[in-house]
Amino acid sequence: MRGRKRAVVGALLILIGAFWWFSRPVPLSEEDLPDHLPDPANGERIFHAGGCASCHAAPGAESRDRDVLSGGLALDSPYGVFSVPNISPGMKHGIGDWEPLDFANAMLRGISPAGRHYFPSFPYTSYARMSISDVLDLKAFLDTLPASDQENAPHQMVFPFGFRRALGIWKRLYLDQNFVMAIDQEDALLERGRYLVEGPGHCGACHTPRNRVGAPRLDQWLSGAPVMEGEGRVPDITAEGLADWSEGDIGFYLETGMDPDFDVVGGDMVKVQENMARLPAEDRQAIAAYLKRAGTGAH
């Protein structure tokens, strides 16, 4: 009897130990950072490609106030209500005191400076595909924006999703820095488009359906999904979904908000489009070139 009890306890301990081991945060170290002089101008380009202000500006902020990334927006989801944090250079509640390595770990590994897992509402599953130098440039640009000392509100998670440690297992399953779509020949425009769409642009966060634990279904990459926060559907933006759009149409839409029927963009895409309008034209062309091929080579 006693032997059996011991065996059960032992097995449990091994299970817990295995869980703890596999769920541990695996951060980058200083040696992983390249010798790189940060370029805030490139950081600004990445900032618009990523649309950081769309979530991190104060809700309802207009024009210049959108540069104050004080957070505070509530994102409703089946897993709970996420409260968007302050990423202004504020020293107390912002990220002004973060080292470049802290920022790289947040963006590329989804790990906080305290070594905890972030919830994937922060779309690091896409940012993981970014180059470290772009990430460092972005931090340099964020440091030029106004500081805010707005305190962060806690997330309100639905049980059992509040258990952060388990995200370590989630990451082992779903955090993949490899690109989704294969590009056969060397095509600089297409490569740039893939980088922008799958990396900083995190288009898949809304346009790709998610599985039951909130991970993107790569087999249905960019093929459209229900709106997570309410009514309506996010459209299919694969080559099939955009069959009636030319690459020029996509570029014009991202620049002006007008689709080929001259309907004007709505919903959450408004902010995305306005960010994309601030990119150089060649970046919008690159995105268009990629989307017109998307869905054909995805795994």
Partner 1 sequence: MKNPVIVLMIALLGIPFAVAGEDPIQQREELMEETRDALKPLGAMAKGERDFDAEVVNASFAVWKRAGAQFGDLFPEGSESGGGTEAKSTIWTDREGFDRALAEFNEAVDKAMAAQPGSVDELKPVLGGVTKTCKGCHDGYRVKDD
- Asked if residues 294 and 239 have their Cβ atoms less than 8 Å apart, the reply is yes
Neighbours of 230 (CB within 10 A): 9
Q: Write the CA distances from 7 to 18, 19, 101, integer angstroms.
A: 16, 18, 43
Report in angstroms how near the CB of residue 211 gets to partner 1 at its nearest. Answer: 22
Q: How far apart are CA 145 and CA 148, in angstroms?
A: 10
The answer for residues whose C-beta is within 8 angstroms of residue 57's C-beta and 6 or more apart is: 65, 66, 67, 68, 69, 70, 73
Q: Are strands 80-83 and 74-77 parallel, antiparallel or unpaired?
A: antiparallel
Q: Should residue 252 be labelled a site residue for partner 1 when binding is judged by CB under 8 A? A: yes
Q: Which is nearer to partner 1, 266 or 297 (CB)?
A: 266
Neighbours of 89 (CB within 10 A): 19
Q: Should residue 258 be labelled a site residue for partner 1 when binding is judged by CB under 8 A? A: yes
Under rule CB under 8 A, which residues in 273-292 are in contact with partner 1?
Answer: 273-274
Q: How far apart are CA 215 and CA 171, in angstroms?
A: 9
Task: Select the residue interacting with partner 1 from 182, 263, 280, 299 (CB under 8 A).
Answer: 263
Q: Which is nearer to partner 1, 66 or 155 (CB)?
A: 66
Q: Should residue 184 be labelled a site residue for partner 1 when binding is judged by CB under 8 A? A: no
Task: Select the residue interacting with partner 1 from 270, 281, 282, 296 (CB under 8 A).
Answer: 270
Task: Select the residue interacting with partner 1 from 100, 133, 267, 293 (CB under 8 A).
Answer: 267
Report in angstroms how near the CB of residue 255 gets to partner 1 at its nearest. Answer: 9
Q: Should residue 209 be labelled a site residue for partner 1 when binding is judged by CB under 8 A? A: no
- Asked if residues 153 and 84 have their Cβ atoms less than 8 Å apart, the reply is no
Question: With CB under 8 A as the contact rule, which of the stretches 75-83, 119-127, 176-184, 230-238 interacts with partner 1?
Answer: 230-238
Question: With CB under 8 A as the contact rule, which of the stretches 165-173, 185-193, 208-216, 229-237 interacts with partner 1?
Answer: 229-237
Report in angstroms how near the CB of residue 235 gets to partner 1 at its nearest. Answer: 7
- Asked if residues 137 and 206 have their Cβ atoms less than 8 Å apart, the reply is no
Which residues form the interface with partner 1 (CB under 8 A)?
A: 231-233, 235, 248, 252, 256-258, 261-268, 270, 273-274
